[in-house]
């Protein structure tokens, strides 16, 4: 019995493993849709992309700090006192290194019918401030970020 006491003492004193990612709380950063290394910054231009099916969207990405690559993501865009984008995603982050992952292929589909049902988004929103809000829910918590950008026309929508 005495031979087992040191082994029992070692088992009883084994420290808890450190929390994933050093215990960092979840965090989210809005990024440029074509390059997640570039953060979206206040006042930056964001193109209202004229899609192939005739609608408009904004393109963005996210960088998320969290040990779980599976997330829920809500994105809204407000302009001219109305919500013009309201999308919900359940997705897996790519390039996840165990603590941080990214997605660079996210779309916010623009709907301006609450402002003017007859208008086209670039006619109403070009030059206007867009308030992008992204919220992320992970298995370890929640995080959000808000960035105000300026809407610009897609070159194919420029008036003649």
Is 70 exceeded by the pLDDT of residue 4?
no
In a domain, 89, yes or no: yes
In a domain, 151, yes or no: yes
Split into its structural domains, the chain has a count of 1
Stated pTM of the model: 0.83
Instruction: Give me the CATH number covering residue 49.
Output: 2.60.40.10
At 46-98, the pLDDT tens digits run 999 999 999 999 999 999 998 888 999 999 999 999 999 999 999 999 877 87
Higher pLDDT, 155 or 9: 155
- 3-state SS assignment for residue 48: strand
In a domain, 116, yes or no: yes
Task: Please report the pLDDT score of residue 68 as a whole number.
Answer: 85
Please answer whether residues 103 and 136 qualify as being in contact, where contact means their C-beta atoms are separated by less than 8 angstroms.
no
Least Cα distance to 73 among 147, 142, 130 occurs for 142
Cα–Cα distance for residue pair 112/125, rounded to 1 Å: 9
In a domain, 14, yes or no: no
> Quick one: pLDDT band at residue 119, thresholds 50, 70, 90?
very high
CA angle 114, 76, 124 (to 5 degrees): 40
Tell me the two tokens of residue 23.
């215990």
Higher pLDDT, 137 or 98: 137
Cα–Cα distance for residue pair 70/26, rounded to 1 Å: 12
Q: Which domain holds residue 50?
A: 19-157
Residue 111: φ, ψ to 5°: -130, 110
Task: Please report the pLDDT score of residue 36 as a whole number.
Answer: 82
In a domain, 11, yes or no: no
In a domain, 6, yes or no: no
Task: Please report the pLDDT score of residue 159 as a whole number.
Answer: 77
> Quick one: pLDDT band at residue 135, thresholds 50, 70, 90?
very high
Is 70 exceeded by the pLDDT of residue 9?
no
The residues, ordered by sequence, that sit 6+ positions from 40 with a Cβ below 8 Å of its Cβ are: 30, 31, 32, 46, 60, 132, 147, 149
């Amino acid at each position: 019995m005495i031979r087992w006491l040191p082994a029992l003492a070692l088992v009883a004193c084994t420290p808890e493993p450190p929390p994933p990612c050093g215990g960092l709380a979840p965090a989210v950063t809005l990024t440029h849709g074509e390059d997640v290394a570039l953060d979206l910054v206040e006042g930056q231009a964001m193109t209202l992309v004229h899609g192939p099916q005739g609608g408009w969207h904004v393109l963005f990405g996210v960088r998320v700090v969290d040990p779980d690559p599976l997330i829920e993501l809500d994105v809204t865009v407000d302009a001219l006192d109305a919500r013009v984008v309201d999308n919900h995603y359940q997705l897996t982050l790519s390039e996840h290194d165990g603590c941080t992952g990214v997605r660079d292929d996210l779309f916010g589909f623009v709907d301006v019918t609450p402002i003017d049902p007859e208008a086209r988004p670039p006619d109403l929103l070009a030059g206007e401030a867009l308030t992008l809000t992204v919220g992320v829910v992970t298995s370890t918590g929640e995080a959000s970020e808000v960035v105000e950008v300026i809407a610009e026309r897609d070159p194919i929508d420029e008036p003649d």
